[in-house]
Each structure stands twice: as structure tokens, then as C-alpha cells.
């Protein structure tokens, strides 16, 4: 039998995937969980709409699978999607048993769970909590349980710099902590649950921590990275010059909101049969088109709920209502200006269905990972479910590998890390970051073409020569964002079609035949089938 103290796990990230995994890993070892900010600060915390889950039996599961595949525009890896929808219900039941308070039809604890419908779902299956604070409630329940477990040590304010390798196996991470002190954490295996990279774009709904650290570290270490061209742009972020790009949940349209152009016309029925409930990529591009005037001028687009009756919008969406109130806006009485913003990365570190990456000792789950479950366009509210399901599966696989003897124990000798050089000017780092983010939005955003992508590639190559050494959190984040930007730009340039969230104005149609996944490893890009053996790489990053 395995001795409980024999193994030591490193988990990078304190969102839904990292916390759920840590709870399983703690059963057979000590867990070091690293977060850049407070343990409650993650993309999970900001997830408003809800968690999609089929809890009505086999037929419900099949419908959820069908919707997921349809939204993914021909690129969903069906085995991964089937895992997601089949294992969702028991994982959500687990959350309920652990004290997660989803909204119910009455105040009684055992009354019926409320469900809403969101874009591209065929029926209402979205559970929500506190109206529009679902991620926060799930994160709270998991964090409470993790903090109560003495085998889980949570370290806040820790930025991961790079993966540590020993004999070709990932054995830990190097980090920068408060005061820019350098530290290494080592263990039997590392789970990346570090979330997405929305900060690579100047317009994003993501919090400041979302800088693609896990993807960049894994790429530098030699892991395969897939589908980076598929960045989902949420259609409806608040578009006020003085306000942040605050997310206006998909659930608003699920409750009946319409989208109107500057003339007051409802335009989505002209773009898709599902109108406002069309897949996100369709809605986002429709808004972008309606926002361009006849002479190229920018026009406003609005979300309109003034016609919605029978729902107390302040009670149903308390967080959104409170935020809008700061700017003198009300869902019930005003047109709300909206525009698309970078929201969710479908690509990431390639994993199998159990979270294992192409590097021994390295696992990944949640937005940092790419199982192919979302294809080219994620179905609304499948992200929390993905973190929950695949976070648990990755932890189970890590434990099984340990019990089979294929993972080392925690004991190892690592040389003390070298002190980093003096950090660069904060002003210079901030300016480079702003330039990178604006360039990405302009040339690798909603609409792309070869001219823009090649110009972006050249700017990123020039910027690489000026990158700082990574002596502070700001420098590390800049370097990671630069790596992610290169991966997105190169994959977008190599995919000569429009599919899902990837739209090329010079290649507006699908390529004939079955869609394939882009893959980048060690500076080279090719296209693969997730069920086939990896092919020889074809294109070198420049």
C-alpha cells in the first residue's frame, strides 16, 4: 500500500480545476497549491452565467453532447465531449454535497434547482448561483473544503516562472514571490490549472491574472500546444469609455435580451436562425459588423432588456445590476452599450482525456489545457464543467500513476536557483505590454487576414529582442504574454479557413474535408487529428 506521505503534488492555480484536483490529490500526499493573487482570485471567480450540466438522464446527456459538438464547428474531439457531459452530473452532485448553494425555485434547501438557457443550448440546463455569481459560489465551496484539509498548503502571491525538469521529467516549478524573491517548489508531478490568457488582448473580460503563464511555461519546456488560433470573443462586454470591459452574461440573452444597432433595429435574426441565442462566434462577429458605419466610423450596439417582463432583473442579475448602477444604467430601463471582448481560449497545452500532457510528470486541466472538448468554439457555460470534470480526472490519473510506480516520490535534490538580474523599468515593461495587447486586438482579434498577421508576426519578432529577463512578476507576465501572442498569431496565420472563433477575411469558408487541430511544439506548427499519432512538424516559427 502507498504511504500517504510518499508523494508531494504541485498544483498551479486556484480556480475550479486546481481546487477540485487538490482535494483528490491530498488523499495520497501533500499538495502545494500556488496562486498569483488571493486564492479566490481566478477566472472561476468571474464566471457569471452558470454551469451547464445534463442531470435528466441519458437523453439529456445526448442532447448536451449534440449541442457541444454543434457549437464547436466541426472540431470537437467527441470522446472528450462525451466525458464532459457524462461525468458532469455526478461532479455537480458532489458540489451540492460539499455545500455549493445553487439557486432554487423556493427558499427550501431541497427544492428544485433553477435552470436557464443560454446561447446554442437546445434547452434550459444552466445552473446558477446568487443570480449571476456562479463561479464565485463554486470557488467558495471548493476553497472552504481545501482550506480545511491539512494536507493542502495554499501559497498566495506566487508567480510561476518556468517548469523544472530532471531527467526529461517535470519535477516542479520555479517561482517569483512577493518582493521578487525566487523560490523552487518540487514534487512528484505538476498539475497546471493556471487558467487562460485574456490579457494578451487589449479588450478582455478576464482578470489581470490571466496572462497565459501555464501555456507559456509548458511550451518552453517542450510540451505540445494545440488550437491557439481559437480565442473566443464574448459578444457582450460593457462598452463605456470610462468603464472596464465588464462581462454581461450570456444568461441575459437567455432571459430574453435583444441586440439592437445604432438605428434601434434588432439585427440578430438576419444573421442566424437562433438570433441572440446563436453560438458566440456568430453573435460576436455580427455585433462587430453592425458597429461599422458606411464610412468606416464606429457605431454603438446595444443590449436591450426593456421589453422583458415577469422577471425581476435586479434580483436575477444582482452583480450585473450593481455594476451598471455605478454608471447610471439599469437593465430594465436603459439600452446597454456592448462590444465583443476576448473571453476564453479553446486551445492550450495538449492533454489526453486524463489530463496527461506530452511531458512526463506534467498534467493540465481547465482553460490552460486543450483536450479538444470545445473544438473551434466553446458552448456557453461548459467552461466551469470542464474544470470540474477534467480537474478530477487529472488528479485521479496522477494518483493512479503514483500507485503504479510510474511517478517518483517527492524526495529530490535541486540546485538553488540563480538570482535573477535586476528588473527592467516598470514604465518600459508596461509600455511593451500595452503595445503587444493593442497589436493583438488589431491583427489577431475578431477578424484576421494574412497582411495583418504577417505584420503582427514581424512586430512580435522585433519585440522579442527587447524582452526583459523575467526578474519580476511584471516581466514574467510580459514574457508569457509574448509567447502566447506568438502562438496565436502563428496558428492563425497557418489556418487558411474560417472556423468557429477563427475568422479570416481572406479565407472566409471552411476548408473541404475533416477539420484538424493545429499543433505547435518547439517552434514548429502542423495540423493533426487528436486520434492519430503525431505527424512530423512542418512550419517553423519565425
Cα(105)–Cα(107) distance, rounded to whole angstroms?
7
Closest listed residue to residue 81, CA positions, set 376, 426, 363, 353:
353
How distant, in Å, are the alpha carbons of 267, 290, 298, 491 from that of 261?
7, 6, 11, 33
Cα(429)–Cα(36) distance, rounded to whole angstroms?
19
Query: Which neighbouring-strand residues pair with 225?
Result: 349, 520
Rounded to 5°, angle at Cα 200 from 301 and 473: 135
Whether 156 contacts 39, CB under 8 Å: yes
C-alpha cell read off for 87? 461525468
Q: State the catalytic residue, choosing from 20, 115, 117, 280.
A: 280
Beta strands in 113-157 (DSSP E): 115-116, 126-127, 152-155
C-alpha cell read off for 182? 525566487
Closest listed residue to residue 186, CA positions, set 392, 36, 15, 361:
361
- Residue 243 φ then ψ, to 5°: -115, 150
C-alpha cell read off for 94? 458532489
Going by C-beta distance under 8 Å and a sequence separation of 6 or more, which residues neighbour residue 301?
239, 259, 260, 261, 262, 287, 290, 291, 337, 338, 339
Q: How far is CA 431 from the centre of its chain?
A: 25
Residue 164, Cβ density class (10 Å: 0-12 exposed, 13-18 middle, ≥19 buried): buried
280 classed as catalytic:
yes
Residue 268, Cβ density class (10 Å: 0-12 exposed, 13-18 middle, ≥19 buried): buried
Active centre residues (catalytic): 280
Amino acid at each position: 500500500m502507498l504511504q500517504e506521505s510518499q508523494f508531494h503534488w504541485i498544483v498551479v492555480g486556484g480556480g475550479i480545476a486546481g481546487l477540485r484536483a487538490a482535494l483528490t490529490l491530498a488523499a495520497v500526499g501533500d499538495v502545494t497549491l500556488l496562486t498569483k493573487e488571493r486564492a479566490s482570485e481566478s477566472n472561476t471567480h468571474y464566471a457569471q452565467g452558470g454551469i451547464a450540466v445534463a442531470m435528466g438522464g441519458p437523453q439529456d446527456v445526448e442532447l448536451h453532447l449534440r449541442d457541444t459538438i454543434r457549437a464547436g464547428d466541426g472540431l470537437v474531439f467527441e470522446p472528450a465531449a462525451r466525458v464532459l457531459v457524462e461525468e458532469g452530473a455526478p461532479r455537480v452532485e458532489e458540489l451540492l454535497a460539499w455545500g455549493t448553494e445553487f439557486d432554487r425555485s423556493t427558499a427550501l434547501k431541497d427544492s428544485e434547482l433553477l435552470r436557464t438557457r443560454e446561447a446554442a443550448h437546445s434547452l434550459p440546463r444552466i445552473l446558477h448561483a446568487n443570480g449571476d455569481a456562479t463561479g464565485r459560489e463554486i470557488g467558495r465551496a471548493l476553497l472552504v473544503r481545501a482550506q480545511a484539509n491539512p494536507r493542502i498548503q495554499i501559497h498566495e502571491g506566487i508567480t510561476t516562472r518556468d517548469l523544472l525538469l530532471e531527467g526529461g521529467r517535470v519535477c516542479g516549478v520555479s517561482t517569483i514571490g512577493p518582493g521578487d524573491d525566487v523560490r523552487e517548489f518540487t514534487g512528484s508531478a505538476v498539475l497546471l490549472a493556471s487558467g487562460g490568457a485574456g490579457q494578451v488582448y487589449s479588450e478582455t473580460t478576464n482578470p489581470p491574472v490571466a496572462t497565459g503563464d501555464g501555456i507559456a511555461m509548458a511550451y518552453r519546456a517542450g510540451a505540445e500546444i494545440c488550437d491557439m488560433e481559437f480565442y473566443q470573443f464574448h459578444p457582450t462586454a460593457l462598452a463605456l469609455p470610462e468603464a472596464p470591459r465588464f462581462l454581461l452574461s450570456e444568461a441575459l440573452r437567455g432571459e430574453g435580451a435583444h441586440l439592437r444597432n445604432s438605428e434601434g433595429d434588432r439585427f440578430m435574426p438576419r444573421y442566424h436562425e437562433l438570433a441572440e441565442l446563436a453560438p458566440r462566434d456568430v453573435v460576436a462577429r455580427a455585433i462587430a459588423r453592425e458597429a461599422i458605419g458606411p464610412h468606416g466610423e464606429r457605431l454603438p450596439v446595444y443590449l436591450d432588456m426593456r421589453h422583458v417582463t415577469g422577471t425581476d432583473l435586479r434580483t436575477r442579475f444582482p452583480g450585473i445590476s450593481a455594476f451598471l448602477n455605478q454608471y447610471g444604467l439599469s437593465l430594465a430601463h436603459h439600452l446597454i452599450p456592448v462590444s465583443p471582448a476576448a473571453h476564453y481560449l479553446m486551445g492550450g497545452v495538449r492533454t489526453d482525456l486524463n489530463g496527461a500532457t506530452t511531458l512526463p510528470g506534467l498534467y493540465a486541466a481547465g482553460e490552460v489545457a486543450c483536450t479538444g472538448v470545445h473544438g473551434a468554439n466553446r458552448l456557453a457555460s461548459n467552461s466551469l464543467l470542464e474544470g470540474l470534470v477534467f480537474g478530477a480526472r487529472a488528479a485521479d490519473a496522477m494518483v493512479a500513476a503514483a500507485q503504479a510506480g510510474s511517478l517518483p516520490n517527492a524526495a529530490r535534490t535541486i540546485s538553488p536557483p540563480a538570482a535573477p538580474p535586476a528588473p527592467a523599468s516598470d514604465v518600459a515593461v508596461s509600455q511593451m505590454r500595452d503595445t503587444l495587447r493593442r497589436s493583438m486586438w488589431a491583427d489577431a482579434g475578431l477578424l484576421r487576414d494574412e497582411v495583418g498577421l504577417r505584420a503582427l508576426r514581424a512586430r512580435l519578432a522585433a519585440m522579442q529582442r527587447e524582452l526583459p529577463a523575467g526578474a519580476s512578476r511584471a516581466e514574467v507576465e510580459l514574457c508569457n504574454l509574448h509567447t502566447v501572442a506568438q502562438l496565436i498569431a502563428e496558428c492563425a496565420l497557418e489556418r487558411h479557413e474560417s472556423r468557429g472563433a477563427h475568422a479570416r477575411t481572406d479565407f472566409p469558408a471552411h476548408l473541404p474535408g475533416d477539420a484538424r487541430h493545429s499543433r505547435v511544439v518547439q517552434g514548429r506548427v502542423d495540423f493533426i487529428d487528436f486520434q492519430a499519432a503525431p505527424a512530423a512538424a512542418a512550419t517553423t516559427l519565425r
